[in-house]
Amino acid sequence: MEDFLSLLERRRSLVANEMVPPGPDAAQLERLLRIAARVPDHGKLAPWRFIVFTGEARSKFGAVLEARFHELHPDADERQLAVERQRFERAPVVVGVVSRATPHAKIPEWEQQLSAGAVCQNLLTASAAMGFASQWLSEWYSFDEAIDRALGLEDPECVAGFIYIASAKQAPGERARPAMEDIVSHWSGT
Ligand SMILES: Cc1cc2nc3c(=O)[nH]c(=O)nc-3n(C[C@H](O)[C@H](O)[C@H](O)COP(=O)(O)O)c2cc1C
Mean pLDDT of successive 10-residue stretches along the chain, which has 190 residues? 96 98 98 98 98 98 98 98 98 98 97 98 98 98 98 97 97 95 95
Distance 135 CA to ligand 1 centre (A): 7
C-alpha closest to that of 38 among 123, 108, 107: 123
Task: Please check whether residue 171 is in contact with residue 38, taking contact to mean a CB–CB distance below 8 angstroms.
Answer: no
Domain 12-54+90-170 matching CATH 3.40.109.10: the answer reads yes
Q: What is d(CA 68, CA 65) in angstroms, rounded to the nearest whole number?
A: 5
| Stretch (H or E) spanning 164 | strand 158-168
**Stated pTM of the model:** 0.97
- Would you say the CB of residue 12 lies under 6 angstroms from ligand 1? yes
Contact 139, 99 (CB under 8 A): no
* Amino acid letter, residue 178: P
What is the residue extent of each domain of the chain? Answer: 12-54+90-170
Per-residue pLDDT, 190: 80
User: Residue with the nearest Cα to atom 8 of ligand 1?
Assistant: 139
